[in-house]
Amino acid sequence: MAKLKPVINRPSFKSISYESIEPELDQLLARARQQAIDLCESAPASWSGFMQPSEELHDEISRFWSPISHLNSVLNSDDLRESYTACLSKINELYTELGQNSELYEKTLALKETDEYASLSKAQKKTIENTLRDFRLSGVALPEAKKKRYMEISRRLSELKNKFSENVLDSTNAWEKLVTEESLLDGVPEHAKLAAQERARDADKEGWLLNLEFPTYYAISTFASNRELREEIYRAFVTRASDQGPHDKAFNNDDLITETLALRVEKAELLGFNSYAEFSLAKKMVESPQQVFDFLYDLAERALPQAKEEFSELQSFAKQRDGIDELNAWDVGYYSDKLKQQQYAISDEDLKPYFPASKAIPGMFAVVRKLFGLKIQKIEMDDVWHEDVELYEIRDADDTLRGEFYMDNFARPNKRGGAWMDVCVSRRRLDESSVQIPVAYLTCNLTPPVGDDPALLTHNEVTTLFHEFGHGLHHMLTLVDVPDVSGISGVEWDAVELPSQFLENWCWEREALDMISGHYQTGEKIPDDMLEKAQRARNFQSAMQMVRQLEFSIFDMKIHHESRSDSPLNVQAALDEVRQKVSVIPTPSFNRFQNGFSHIFAGGYAAGYFSYKWAEVLSADAYSKFEEEGIFSTEAGLSFMHNILEKGGTDEAMVLFENFRGRKPEIDALLRHSGLKVA
């Protein structure tokens, strides 16, 4: 079969005019509505005459909207916000309309029953099946009055998600603290102090300017010996977008959370589900909320005794070292680092000089090349949204272009916190001879360069890079030509973390570390004794970390399964109840973690945060194959690429996993990697 010609349809960021976003979108949406009318009136449904024209137009809408949505996250401004907010409800309204169009549904159903269906590709058949499922989940069978209410709910939920995210960003940006006495920063790493000095100079101030961007928060909460300073920044961080702490109450997300939960459950009830959790699981591997609870509480039962021992040890250490009678939440990071140094003679800061971004990033590409036979090269171009952004391409060993990706690595103001991969362009067959190449956004908030030094990363930041790149590979290496099931599209949400968590494992292996590390001054690799200490310390407080993630997951599932439209759940009480069961770290009453929990209130993880742990079972078991055959086993690497990364959503995630592993997943590898006992 002749090779398909790769076509690159990446966006032009320089040509985006905020004033023209809404009118251009209006034209696209009008075309989509007219197309729906035309398709309903057309001859009997076929793939080429019915599904393909719709696919082409929706790809065009996606490619138009993707860079705008991305800019709203990474270069937020008042002008862009105005255009983005106005357009968001219009897009949501269109897709709700289409999802409730009974004529389109009947046409799609009729296509599945034609003789042509049997001759369609696996990707085309899966697209039709998913489309029919999504019609049902969009309320296509509802009476008109309920369809209208469903649309109102969808529109409002979209607005609430956007406002939640804005409030978190605004409250994060609004807080700062000027330190004028250097002694208050005792213990804080020099690079963090230099960054704070630069920030102060940029603001025409004298001293050290602290903010709530994660690299700053982490440096203060982990290393500052001044307990009052740690408490102050902790209080500011955990009360963002709430009625507590030093923040403007205009950013409070309390009412948004209450309304969001009520509307989500009403939406689910309209479709006949008992809870929003049941509605959410309709697109996941897991079959019921009870299955999720059983899974999470089983892990909690295994981890909690060890977590309590770890915290008790930390309390004793703080008491013995500094006479601390009551270990508070803002003390945990600080004393954990000191205890880690005592037990393993290593701190998170010790590894940092060995991970300059200029070494870690190309080293990560080298790891991927050795695993999957891929070549990654930088593309020189200036059509990007910020000077830090770089564009890369991925090619096969035979030089076939597989995909492209933008990297935006460093923290800065007006950029959403956290790290994520997002779709820029999806792979799609254009005609008999050409294919549209997938493009990804890879975004992090890593520690930026300071002064004359390069960007030096913590090992955890390197792991974050690998995690997001794993998502990116899942999107870019797909060989599926139908966009609804290419890349990460159509993949069950509780399996989408498999490739990302899987790739993290190479951050701990000597052979891989030699490729991603090198002292920024001497080029020296991580010394053997230091690596041995780091590897021994890998599972330091791993049970405490496990129950922390289980707290988030159980809370998420609880509020989305127990909320009812006629009896709003007290979210704070629900979180407190979960903490009583699985938490070991005392949480102060002013903590409002939920008000900044963007994953579930502004992202795609509502009733799905458990996916991180669920997929970790898959990823740990998948990696155990490399532990058995060699971490750079060519056979295992190519098998993972062919069976998982290239397949997109064309098959059930469990089927793909079994094709790779030769059996169903087992939990033993996760427990072993987490330092927990295997039953």
Q: Pick the closest to residue 354 from 522, 514, 520 (CA basis).
A: 520
Q: For 85-103, what is the mean pLDDT?
A: 95
Would you say the CATH fold of 353-536+612-673 matches that of 259-346+542-601? yes
Q: How far is CA 345 from CA 195, 341, 349, 523, 530, in A?
A: 27, 4, 12, 22, 9
Per the model's pLDDT, the better-predicted residue between 97 and 43 turns out to be: 97
Binned at pLDDT 50, 70 and 90, residue 679 comes out as: low
Evaluate if residue 510 carries a pLDDT over 70: yes
Q: For 306-326, what is the mean pLDDT?
A: 97
d(CA 26, CA 152): 20
Sign of CA dihedral 235, 238, 241, 242: negative
Evaluate if residue 44 carries a pLDDT over 90: no
Evaluate if residue 2 carries a pLDDT over 80: no
pTM exceeding 0.85: yes
259-346+542-601 has CATH 1.10.1370.10 classification = yes
| pLDDT tens sequence across 554-610 | 999 999 999 988 887 899 999 999 999 999 999 999 999 999 999 999 999 999 999
d(CA 283, CA 130): 9
| Cβ-contact 269, 530 below 8 angstroms | no
Evaluate if residue 38 carries a pLDDT over 60: yes
Q: Pick the closest to residue 233 from 211, 250, 252 (CA basis).
A: 211
Q: Pick the closest to residue 188 from 419, 450, 461 (CA basis).
A: 450
Sign of CA dihedral 223, 227, 228, 233: positive
pLDDT at 183: 97
Evaluate if residue 21 carries a pLDDT over 80: yes
Q: Residue 176: beta bridge partners?
A: 211
Buried b (16+ CB within 10 A) or exposed e, 439-473: bbbbbbbbbbbbeeeebbbbbebbbbbbbbbbbbb
pLDDT at 240: 98
Q: Which two tokens stand for residue 613?
A: 């742990």
Q: For 627-637, what is the mean pLDDT?
A: 97
Q: Which two tokens stand for residue 81?
A: 């916000």
Evaluate if residue 385 carries a pLDDT over 70: yes
Range 273-278, long-range pairs (CB < 8 A, 24+ positions): 275/560, 275/561, 275/562, 275/563, 275/564, 276/560, 276/561, 276/563, 276/606, 276/607, 277/557, 277/560, 277/561, 277/607, 278/561
Number of other residues whose CB lies within 10 A of the CB of residue 27? 10
d(CA 600, CA 100): 25
pLDDT at 566: 80
Cβ neighbours of residue 492 closer than 8 Å, sequence gap 6 or more: 283, 284, 285, 649, 652, 653
Evaluate if residue 512 carries a pLDDT over 60: yes
| Cβ-contact 575, 552 below 8 angstroms | no
d(CA 375, CA 476): 13
353-536+612-673 has CATH 3.40.50.300 classification = no
| pLDDT tens sequence across 602-614 | 999 999 999 999 9
Q: What percent of the chain has pLDDT over 90?
A: 97
Q: What are the catalytic residues?
A: 468
Helices (H), 477-570: 498-504, 510-516, 528-536, 542-562
**CA–CA–CA angle 534, 538, 540 (5° rounding):** 110
pLDDT at 677: 72
**CA–CA–CA angle 187, 191, 195 (5° rounding):** 110
Q: How far is CA 197 from CA 18, 181, 188, 396, in A?
A: 34, 12, 13, 45
Helix, strand, coil abundance in the chain, percent, nearest 5: 60, 10, 30
Q: For 467-496, what is the mean pLDDT?
A: 97
d(CA 524, CA 518): 5
Q: Pick the closest to residue 435 from 425, 422, 450, 445 (CA basis).
A: 425
d(CA 96, CA 91): 9
d(CA 366, CA 421): 20
> To which H or E segment does residue 24 belong?
helix 18-41
Burial class (CB in 10 A: 0-12, 13-18, 19+), 433: exposed
Amino acid at 236: A
Cβ neighbours of residue 362 closer than 8 Å, sequence gap 6 or more: none
Q: Pick the closest to residue 5 from 394, 400, 434 (CA basis).
A: 434
DSSP 591-625: --GGGG-HHHHTSS-TTTTTHHHHHHHHHHHHHHH
Evaluate if residue 108 carries a pLDDT over 70: yes
Any idea which residue has 């300059």 for tokens? 356
Any idea which residue has 């049997």 for tokens? 118
No. of helices (H) and no. of strands (E), the chain? 26, 10
pLDDT at 371: 97
Evaluate if residue 678 carries a pLDDT over 80: no
Binned at pLDDT 50, 70 and 90, residue 501 comes out as: very high
How many C-alpha atoms does 133 have within 13 Å on its Cβ side?
Answer: 14
Delimit the domains of the chain by residue range.
Answer: 18-99+101-137, 175-251, 259-346+542-601, 353-536+612-673
pLDDT at 214: 95
The gap between the terminal CA atoms of the chain, to the nearest Å, is: 51
Q: Average model confidence (pLDDT) for the chain?
A: 96
Q: Pick the closest to residue 95 from 52, 50, 65 (CA basis).
A: 65
| Cβ-contact 615, 667 below 8 angstroms | no
Burial class (CB in 10 A: 0-12, 13-18, 19+), 571: buried
Burial class (CB in 10 A: 0-12, 13-18, 19+), 666: middle
Any idea which residue has 């990116």 for tokens? 472
pLDDT at 534: 95
| pLDDT tens sequence across 117-153 | 999 999 999 999 999 999 999 999 999 999 999 999 9
Any idea which residue has 């696919």 for tokens? 55
What does CATH list as the number for 18-99+101-137?
1.20.1050.40
Q: What percent of the chain has pLDDT over 70?
A: 99
Any idea which residue has 């956004």 for tokens? 441
Binned at pLDDT 50, 70 and 90, residue 3 comes out as: confident
